[in-house]
Amino acid sequence: MKLRDKVVVITGSGSGIGAECARRFTAEGAKVVVTDVNSDGLTRVADDLGTVGLAVDITLEENVRAVAELARRTYGPIDLWFSNAGYTGPPQGGGIGDEALWDLSWRLHVMSHVYAAREVLPAMLERGDGYLLQTASVVALAVHPDKPAYSVTKHATLSLSEWLATSYRPKGIKVSCFCPGPMLTPMLLADVAPENQAIMNSAARPDEVAERLVRAIDAEDFLILDSDIGTAALAAKAANYEQWITNMSGLQTG
């Protein structure tokens, strides 16, 4: 899909890769609607791009509907919904985590995508065209040893994307799942100790990742990666799953 003149909604676009994609997609000629729970960041991005946005919690279905209605009212039918919002949560130190974190992770990483699909698919199916793009994580191809709720629900994001692709691609709907590795975003900077230079040095810049996404959307690739980490994880699992489990066990810090 070419982004020029397309109506695009990007969730989690008040900062980080969401904000950078909003800028890059706009430069491609897309009509981008932004949304984020952070009203200050959202306002800055919307003002910079001269577009509209809504500061809401997209884990609530009525808020997803409100964002979609804003996009349609402002620009017309939605061509691409980019479900990008995410939350890693604090390290659990080998523990499973509390109910609140699991609930938020499930609602944000799975149900917000379900709500978006419910909202935009009927019109997309009627015209036989549209695009659903979900951000999972390279964790969805591997595991995060210290963040079980994040790890499990990002696996669920990928699984949902697979189901959407196998169910709706034959009906003209494009579906992609973006599984990024470390990126130099506020989320990573808040999550990684400054002394952990190995991760910081390997992290991609948001503008580089946004450029990769533009190319992947143009090619309509299903699995979008920005590093070799995901490919290596898939290869390691396929080669020797037992050994991969053992290797991942050695990364636990708790």
CATH number for the domain harbouring residue 236: 3.40.50.720
Residue 184 has pLDDT above 60, yes or no: no
254 inside domain = no
Calpha distance 253→158 (Å, rounded): 26
- What does the pLDDT look like over 46-68, one tens digit per residue? 999 999 999 999 999 999 999 99
What residues make up the domain containing 159?
Answer: 7-249
**Non-local CB neighbours of 123 within 8 Å, separated by 6+ positions:** 77, 78, 130
Residue 183 has pLDDT above 80, yes or no: no
Give me the pLDDT at residue 191, please: 53
Cα Rg, the chain, nearest whole Å: 18
Cross-strand bridge partners of residue 7: 31
What is the tally of structural domains in the chain? Answer: 1
- What does the pLDDT look like over 69-84, one tens digit per residue? 999 999 999 999 999 9
81 inside domain = yes
- What does the pLDDT look like over 195-209, one tens digit per residue? 454 454 566 788 999
Give me the pLDDT at residue 223, please: 96
Read off the pTM.
Answer: 0.89
- Nearest of 125, 127, 116, 218 to residue 161 by alpha carbon: 116
Cross-strand bridge partners of residue 133: 82, 176
199 inside domain = yes
148 inside domain = yes
3-state per-residue secondary structure call for 134-147: EECCHHHHCCCCCC
Q: Residue 179: which pLDDT band, with cuts at 50, 70 and 90?
A: very high
Give me the pLDDT at residue 200, please: 46
136 inside domain = yes
Give me the pLDDT at residue 96, please: 81
1 inside domain = no
What is the overall mean pLDDT for the chain? Answer: 90
165 inside domain = yes
- What does the pLDDT look like over 221-242, one tens digit per residue? 999 998 888 888 889 989 999 9
